[in-house]
Structure 1
Amino acid sequence: MKLEFCGGAGEIGRSAILVDDSLLLDFGMDSGNPPAFPVGDVDPDAVVVSHGHLDHVGSLPTLLSGDARPPVHWTPPTYDLAMVLARDTLELHGGTYNCPFTEAELARLTQVSETHGYGEPFTAAGYEVTFFDAGHIPGSAHVLVSDGDTRLLYTGDFHTEDQQLVAGTTARPDADIVVCESTYAETTRRPRAEIEREFAESLRTTLWEGGTVVVPAFAIGRTQEMLCLCERHGLECYVDGMGKRVTELFLRPRNRGFLRDPDRLRRAKGNARFVDGRDGQRKRIAEQNTVIVTTSGMLHGGPAMTYVPEIRTNPVNKIALTGYQVEGTPGRELLETGSAEIDGRVMPISARVEAYDFSAHADRAGLESFLESYRDATIAVVHGDRCAAFAAALADDGYAATAPSLGDVVRY
């Protein structure tokens, strides 16, 4: 089996792996400035998508230009999320380098889509493919690919610990080759239940003191996690940004079965007040003694650009960051300097700033526990900042592990 690593090798972003020149696994984009897209000249017979995050689906519509019409296989939530992200990209960047597709390619994507549930084998480009719950976000999948002789497991992004929305992965299908993500291979995380309790208590304290809490959160997965935590701990909240659409999407009848507890998210939605952003509504909300869950998670856009300036001068207020802050983003700048560039202005922040690791990826212990089932397999480490270091550690522990570089073609 020949694998070409067109993206996500030695990096996080633009994940794309081509199997035997015919089956493409993911086709994402790196949304940096400028954005980056997969390398190589791919013309697949079929595409299989692990989950609906931009770094795994962002470039998909470009595959449908010209006469190409490869079928695209994914779970129902992944399809719905990919369409939301693609439309958002078109609205924000259509006609520029940042958006390498048009409305025509997006329309074609709906025509070639084929959805599948977990544990339901299907055929793609002549391979037998099966999805298994990866425990990352609703609809996320480990992808098992078999050509009859060799079994390849592409882990996609995964988590081994339970979250509010989804349970941790327990799937360990037999495989000869494992292409494994390593996003948090250098991190050891405290139990999630401890982090959740600490987060809720911090928000409750700020509200008791009369302050406002802004909770910047990624729209897909993280916003819904925060809403569930607020409802669980009796904290009223507002929700703003793309996370509103994604919450509705997850509660569609065909997607509810991909949630750990659909009623939990339904209750969380009922506990939250949705913001439409009209007539100065956001500024009025920022003056309230409340919790505001809003995009963007790294403070580089979205309604957070209104809320943060409104609450920044009062030291009783709080900004509770809920995800990793990439270097160069306003969120990272805020953590390191106490100031952040918001809409072109550098603003000192007097409000308290806290950071919580609610990552939906397995940490070092989770990765090692997952791979323990694959000691006899060949391991390719991808999707991380230090893939080579993790592969070397695995090799020292007796695994046949390597870290391919971007553009590498490897025969297994």
Structure 2
Amino acid sequence: MDIRFLGGAGEVGRSAILVNDRLLLDYGMKSGNPPQFPGDVDPDAVVVSHGHLDHVGAISSLLSGDARPSIHWTPPTREFALTLARDTLKLHGGTMQCPFTETDVQRITQVSKTHGYRETFEVAGHEVSFFDAGHIPGSAHVLVDDGETRLFYTGDFQTAAQQLVSKTTARPDADAVICESTYSDLEHDDRSAVEDQFVESVEQTLWEGGTVVIPAFAIGRTQEMLLICERYDIPCYVDGMGKQITEMLMHHLEFVRDADALRRAKSHARFVTGRDGQRKRIAEQNTAVITTSGMLHGGPAMTYVPAVRSHPTNKIALTGYQVEGTPGRDLLETGSAEIDGRMMPVSARVEQYDFSAHADRNGLRSFLESYADEKVLVNHGDRCEGFAAELREDGYDATAPELGERIVM
């Protein structure tokens, strides 16, 4: 088997792996100004692990020429990918920062094929199976068999259960594993303890008469926050792309942990229309607002944060990792953030909670115990070589491929 790393090697973002020059695993974009994309490629088919921008963000560009590779994914991943592609067009369409057009996005529907978990399908001369990765709804580990070698591509995964999705339990036999390593140097706090701290903090702010703005990623994190708010009867609004994603998931409830709980959470929340100054009125209410963007670089958060920033009774509760250089990271480190081109000091309390949908150091190690005798290729992380070296010390055959590197097995 011939494996080429076109993106996501030694970095988080623009994941793309080419197998036997025919089958492409993921084709994402790395957010930034300007965004970054993987190397050019002309595959026979594409298999997508899940619907986050760093794994699906550049898929449409594969259809910009005459090529029409088939695209294989779970039903939620297809819907997420189309939504993200249209959002990218809205933000960057018609500029050098967007390598595809609306026509390319429309072509996705012509070549798309959806599959469920543990269904084996043939594509580009390979047998492929999806397994639940426990990351977001529809996220998948991908098992690829070319008749000689079985490759297990983990995609992004979580070994601890979330409110929205169950943890990964799949450990199929494989000869080699491409393993993500996002949090290979970190141990997450106990999930239930994080929830308890978050709920106590939000309830305290509401009791004091304040407003809580909860920036959250649209796919996965928004729904996780809705489930927690409903479970603890916290009054909340939801705004931004998370509204659309939540509605979409109502048609794919077999991919969530508890369909009834998600229905209740959706009914419990109030969806913001954004008309006639509604957001500014909501920001003055004694309530929680779950809104995009999760790192404060766009979305309705650009209205809510300035509206609540001046009063220390209010709170901004960040629910995920804040990448260096983003307004969310600046706010955590300096108490100020650049919002819509203006540097704003924030007097509202700022807190961060680790609701990660990725396995931590212990989760990664426990997962890889099932593959102690197989070849491990470490990718999707800021310290891939460091993690691979730690694995080698413990007897693993582990390496961290570099960007553009080709591995032959």
Q: TM-score scaled to structure 2, two decimals?
A: 0.99
One-letter amino acid of the counterpart of residue 33, structure 2: N
Q: What is the aligned counterpart of 2:265 among 262, 265, 268?
A: 268
Match of 1:104 in 2: 103
After TM superposition, give the deviation of residue 93 of structure 1 in Å.
1.1
Q: Do residues 164 (structure 1) and 163 (structure 2) align?
A: yes
| Aligned counterparts, 1:5-404, within 5 A | 5-39=5-39, 41-252=40-251, 255-404=252-401
* In structure 2, distance between residues paired with 1:312 and 1:190: 28
After TM superposition, give the deviation of residue 66 of structure 1 in Å.
2.0
2:90 counterpart SS class: helix
Deviations 1:172-221 (A, max 9, x none): 00000100000000101111011011101100000001110000000000
* In structure 1, distance between residues paired with 2:64 and 2:92: 18
One-letter amino acid of the counterpart of residue 83, structure 1: L
* In structure 1, distance between residues paired with 2:65 and 2:141: 30
* In structure 2, distance between residues paired with 1:288 and 1:273: 13
**Structure 1 residue ranges (4+ consecutive) displaced by more than 4 angstroms after TM superposition:** none
> Any gaps of 5 or more consecutive residues in structure 1?
none
Deviations 1:72-101 (A, max 9, x none): 000000000000000111112111122110
* In structure 2, distance between residues paired with 1:31 and 1:110: 24
One-letter amino acid of the counterpart of residue 135, structure 1: G
Deviations 1:211-242 (A, max 9, x none): 10000000000000000000001101000000
* In structure 1, distance between residues paired with 2:406 and 2:381: 19
1:130 counterpart SS class: strand
Deviations 1:140-161 (A, max 9, x none): 0000000122100000000000
1:335 counterpart SS class: helix
One-letter amino acid of the counterpart of residue 331, structure 1: G
2:338 counterpart SS class: strand
For the aligned residue pairs, the C-alpha RMSD in angstroms reads 0.6
* In structure 1, distance between residues paired with 2:281 and 2:212: 14
* In structure 2, distance between residues paired with 1:33 and 1:91: 15
One-letter amino acid of the counterpart of residue 160, structure 2: E
* In structure 1, distance between residues paired with 2:337 and 2:233: 31
One-letter amino acid of the counterpart of residue 5, structure 1: F
* In structure 1, distance between residues paired with 2:188 and 2:133: 19
* In structure 2, distance between residues paired with 1:232 and 1:68: 48
One-letter amino acid of the counterpart of residue 321, structure 1: L
One-letter amino acid of the counterpart of residue 385, structure 1: D
Identity %: 71
* In structure 2, distance between residues paired with 1:6 and 1:15: 7
* In structure 1, distance between residues paired with 2:96 and 2:261: 40
2:332 counterpart SS class: helix
Aligned residues: 409
Q: TM-score scaled to structure 1, two decimals?
A: 0.99
1:367 counterpart SS class: helix
2:343 counterpart SS class: strand
After TM superposition, give the deviation of residue 104 of structure 1 in Å.
1.2
